[in-house]
Amino acid sequence: MIMVNAVKWVDEVIPDAPYAITEEFMNKLFDEYKIDYIIHGDDPCLLPDGSDAYALAKKAGRYKQIKRTEGVSSTDIVGTVHISSSSSLAM
């Protein structure tokens, strides 16, 4: 979380955020954390039952989708950062 919080475009990191967004949690995001939108890439994000993980945010008009950049993988970026951090700690 420290690394994510260090990104200049990140205002706040919400610890222990659930994968499945409930109406209660969504309202907490808007009311307590004062976020404007829930944002996700254009890749499908489904819950175990096959339903859209962001259906509530879409219904509320508070969802924005961003286009995925071909050839850029957040998983690869996280892995690289992890390896770099581990290497730095070993020195």
Question: Per-residue pLDDT tens for 35-78?
Answer: 999 988 888 899 999 999 999 999 999 999 988 878 877 778 88
> Which domain range does residue 68 map to?
14-90
What is residue 12's predicted lDDT score, i.e. its pLDDT? 86
Query: And the tokens for 18?
Result: 């659930």
**This prediction's pTM:** 0.67
Q: What was the pLDDT predicted at 25?
A: 95
Q: What is the total count of domains within the chain?
A: 1
Any alpha helices (H) in 1-91, and if so which ranges? 2-6, 23-31, 55-59, 74-90
Flag whether 1 is in a domain.
no
Domain at 78, CATH number: 3.40.50.620
- Is residue 36 within 8 A of residue 22, CB to CB? The reply is no
* Exposure letters 74-85 (e unless 16+ CB within 10 A, then b): eeeeeeeeeeee
Asked, for residue 7, whether it belongs to a domain, the answer is no
